[in-house]
Amino acid sequence: QVQLVESGGGLVQAGGSLKLSCAGSGRTFSNYAMGWFRQAPGKEREFVAAISWIATITRYADSVKGRCTISRDNNKNTVFLQMNSLKPEDTAVYYCVADDRIAAVVSGTSDYWGQGTQVTVSS
């Protein structure tokens, strides 16, 4: 089992920045591809970003490309999502996900999900 705990969400004005963190525990964190999904009120959950287990591969949704950067620190069992130039449409609950295959992370079929952290962007 892998346990994932997100942090770093909050309220920010449009144009601002936030950095989300996801701390993993349980099985060897560095063996897993990691990623972020988000779900806005009344909308389906959508892919945001993913990173392979040794950070050689990253993937981003078109809606965040150029504004968000995913990174990881395997020594600290943590994955990050730096979000810049935030827009009101970025408002959502952000979920950390983990899987041994990056394809599963991108497709939303990951085995492991965190509880989520709320990001609210005011206009």
Q: State the average pLDDT for the chain.
A: 95
The pLDDT, as a whole number, for residue 1 is 80
Strands (E), the chain: 2-7, 10-13, 18-26, 33-39, 46-51, 58-60, 68-73, 78-83, 92-99, 112-113, 117-122
The pLDDT, as a whole number, for residue 74 is 92
Cα end-to-end distance, the chain, whole Å: 40
The pLDDT, as a whole number, for residue 114 is 97
The pLDDT, as a whole number, for residue 26 is 79
The pLDDT, as a whole number, for residue 30 is 80
Provide mean pLDDT across the span 10-32: 92
| pLDDT band for position 111 (cuts 50, 70, 90) | confident
**Residue position matching structure tokens 């965190």:** 114
Q: Which residues pair with 102 in a beta bridge?
A: none
